[in-house]
Structure 1
Amino acid sequence: MAHELSTNIDIDAPPTDVWAVLTDFDHYPDWNPFMRIAGRPNEGATLTVHLRPPGGRESTFTPDVVGCETNRELRWLGHLFTPGIFDGEHRFHLEPLDGGERTRFVHAERFTGFLAGLLLRVVGDQTRAGFVEMNEALKARVESAAVDETTGEKATG
């Protein structure tokens, strides 16, 4: 049985701007309170992901990128110990809004494996809180980059 955690936030910037921040893993320490990532967002690549959910324990895992569509979606699949115990397919999806001027950012994970239900009862709320925390930080980071620093006004084209 699969279990899904899904969150979303609307960002006042086009998907290209959101993607640029989302896939710039080297700068995650500057803005992302929930996760750090080492590696490249290329299909077939292996990442090292460190998660720090609010009120939870830090964890590290090495998922494989199973999907990467520039400016649209990044997905990876990770396992606890071995496939089938507790597997998570993490997904970042960027949906253009208002003719591409804005973006709906969907941050979700689909959990499967025989321990999925049990472990999500323990860590599900903290994981969801981490997703929301990251979403809000991503929105702030992307939108602040779209503001002209000299005038304080929204930058144009």
Structure 2
Amino acid sequence: MRVEHRIGIQAPPEVIWEILYDIEHWADWNPLYVQAKGQVRIGAELELTMVLGDGAPSVIKPVVLEWVPNDQIHWRLKMMGGLVATTRFLEIEQLEGAGCIFSNGEIFGGLLGPTVAKRMGRKVYRGFQAMNEALKARAEAAWHAQGGAPTSAS
């Protein structure tokens, strides 16, 4: 099962990437991951403190599967002894001009993956939505500060 939220951002991929790649500063803007440690490199373990809605913080330690500058970061997380395995994706799709579509999602697999996704799907979606809206605000402000100008559609 897949849970995903997409959002349009009036900033080029490089601006969005700069914010995403700087994991150590996610706590400055990211309502989903309130603390983050690690480096974006294949095989590296990240340590992320995640808060879904009004729930308690939980620490997860996913492993980076793939990253392509200005394009995507994917990581994998195994829980419950491997009965739940998720692949998380953060992807930037460049549009014409300076705009992008940012996709933020997770694919739930493993024996219990679909059950967990059905039980937690709405909360996860809202967490992705909150992260996307915060990323949009930060990226568009950074782009504007660099002399770019968001369109009136932002």
Give the equivalent residue in structure 2 for 1:138: 135
The two structures, once aligned, show a CA RMSD in angstroms of 1.6
Matched, 1:45 2:44: yes
Aligned residue type for 2:29: W
Runs of 4+ in structure 1 deviating by more than 3 angstroms, as ranges, are none
- Structure 2 residue aligned with 1:70: 69
Pick one of 9, 12, 21 that aligns with 1:11.
Answer: 9
Deviation at 1:58, TM superposition (A): 2.2
Deviation for aligned residue 1:44: 1.1
TM-score (norm 2): 0.90
Q: Which residue of 1 is the match for residue 25 of structure 2?
A: 27
Letter in 2 for 1:75: H
Q: Distance in 2 between matches of 1:82 and 1:37?
A: 23
Q: Kindly state the Cα deviation for residue 27 of structure 1 after the two structures are TM-superposed.
A: 1.4
Whether the 8 Å contact between 2:27 and 2:36 is mirrored in structure 1 is no
Q: Secondary structure at the match of 1:82?
A: helix
1:124 aligned to 121, 124, 147, which one?
A: 121
- Measure the CA separation in 1 of the matches of 2:16 and 2:110: 32
Q: Distance in 2 between matches of 1:127 and 1:72?
A: 22
1:98-136 Cα shifts (integer Å, max 9, x gaps): 14x111100010000111122223221111100000000
2:71 maps to a residue whose letter is R
For the residue of structure 2 that corresponds to 1:98, the secondary structure is coil
Give the counterpart letter for 2:12 in structure 1.
Answer: P
State the shift of 1:50 in Å: 1.4
**What's the TM-score once normalised by structure 1's chain length?**
0.88
Matched, 1:155 2:153: no
Q: Distance in 1 between matches of 2:20 and 2:80?
A: 27
**Deviations along 1:6-56, whole A, 9 cap, x unmatched?**
111010000000000011112111111111321001111111111101133
Count of aligned residue pairs for this structure pair: 148
- Which segments of 5 or more consecutive residues in structure 2 lack a partner in the other structure? 150-154
Measured against aligned partners, the alpha-carbon deviations of 1:138-157 in whole angstroms (never above 9, x if no partner) come to: 00011111223xxxxx7149
